[in-house]
Amino acid sequence: MSVSHEAPADLPAPPTLSVGKILRSRELVLIGLLAMVFIGGNASSPWFLDIYNLLDSTAIFSEIALMALGTALVIITRDIDISMASILALSSLVMGLASQHLGLGAVPLVLIGLATGALCGAVNGTLVARLGMPAIVVTIGTMSLFRGIAAGILGDGKIAEFPTAFTAIGQSYLFGMIPLSFVVFILLSVVFVVLTHFTVLGRNLFALGNNPEGARYSGVRTNRLRFLLFTLNGLMAGLAAVFLTARLGSTRPDIAMGLEMEVITMVVLGGVSISGGKGTITGVVLAALVIGFLRLAVTLNNVPGNILIVFTGLLLIGSVALPIIGEKYAYLFKLMRRPRN
């Protein structure tokens, strides 16, 4: 009997954490940015790290972040939706009219807001998925259409006749500290993470974003999926309308004006590729925290709101540039380590 003297197979080397990998990881970059925001905010204002200030500030950006969750899925599939803020405005108007003229209570108003948002999203989805129109053209058009309807009905006026039970939705705190809108945002973020990254639906999203034709020939019902995503995005805008209208206790035609750019900035900052097929919900959540707490730091220092736009732009450019720099760094480092003949 012979004894084998073969050398044991080499075990795979444990993963290493290089500078290149760190720079290429959007989540790690965002965690670093969030840490910088906390350090800078604490250095510039003694009230920044006050737990009540931090938690209270989440109510302001949670409404934007809710819309960002739905928009992230749309962009992952290579589409775009810039009408979400106008959907919010129209949903808010319909709730205001229902409250003013029908005297409805909180639950019916919430359902009306959600249904209006979903219906507007379904209009976008029908035009894009069923008729084959470009998403950017459709949503530019519906952005003006939905906002125009709200402005045409209200003019320069506003509606502030909402029942107390409804306004409590936007002004209530869990344990007296955490805004209800932030709690809902966190819970829905978990749901979106599971659906996007651990289900067949999520795999279909990324397949559609990476290769639409390949996804279609693989059995993915691409048009149906795109329709559902636009409808879901409208539903999320309707939910944001519920919280924002309840928090303000009123609605105006210019409500949420310009928020669509903040939503898209939040999504792209979170690492969702505008060309589709790439991104994580975790990154979007971290981007929401970065932008939200940056807004708090700016507000506490009495800095004009326009400066926040500058900071957000720099963050967006920096977060996109760092992974690219990381790719180039990793490639150059690989070339330097290559043995020379």
Q: For the chain of 341 residues, list the mean pLDDT of each consecutive stretch of 10.
A: 46 43 69 93 93 93 96 96 96 97 96 98 97 96 96 92 95 93 97 94 93 90 96 98 96 91 91 89 94 92 80 73 71 67 57
- Identify the pLDDT of residue 296: 93
- Asked whether residue 337 is domain-assigned, the answer is no
- Asked whether residue 229 is domain-assigned, the answer is yes
pLDDT tens profile 176-205: 899 999 999 999 999 999 999 999 999 999
- Identify the pLDDT of residue 307: 78
> What is the domain extent for residue 103?
19-323
Tell me how many domains the chain contains: 1
- Asked whether residue 230 is domain-assigned, the answer is yes
- Identify the pLDDT of residue 314: 79
| Unique residue bearing structure tokens 């795109």 | 226
Q: Residue 274's domain is classified under what CATH number?
A: 1.10.3470
- Identify the pLDDT of residue 330: 67
Give the 3-state secondary structure of the chain.
CCCCCCCCCCCCCCCCCCHHHHHHCHHHHHHHHHHHHHHHHHHHCCCCCCHHHHHHHHHHHHHHHHHHHHHHHHHHCCCCCCCHHHHHHHHHHHHHHHHHHHCCCHHHHHHHHHHHHHHHHHHHHHHHHHCCCCHHHHHHHHHHHHHHHHHHHHCCCCECCCCHHHHHHHHCEECCCEEHHHHHHHHHHHHHHHHHHCCHHHHHHHHHHHCHHHHHHCCCCHHHHHHHHHHHHHHHHHHHHHHHHHHHCCECCCCCCCHHHHHHHHHHHCCCCCCCCCCCHHHHHHHHHHHHHHHHHHHHCCCCHHHHHHHHHHHHHHHHHHHHHHHHHHHHHHHHHCCCC
E strands, the chain, are 173-174, 178-179
Rounded to an integer, what is the distance from CA 174 to the centroid of its chain?
Answer: 23
- Asked whether residue 267 is domain-assigned, the answer is yes
Amino acid 44 reads S
Rounded to an integer, what is the distance from CA 19 to the centroid of its chain?
Answer: 28
- Identify the pLDDT of residue 78: 94
Give the pTM.
0.88
Alpha-carbon dihedral of residues 294, 245, 249, 299, nearest 10 degrees? Answer: 10
Amino acid 175 reads F
- Asked whether residue 4 is domain-assigned, the answer is no
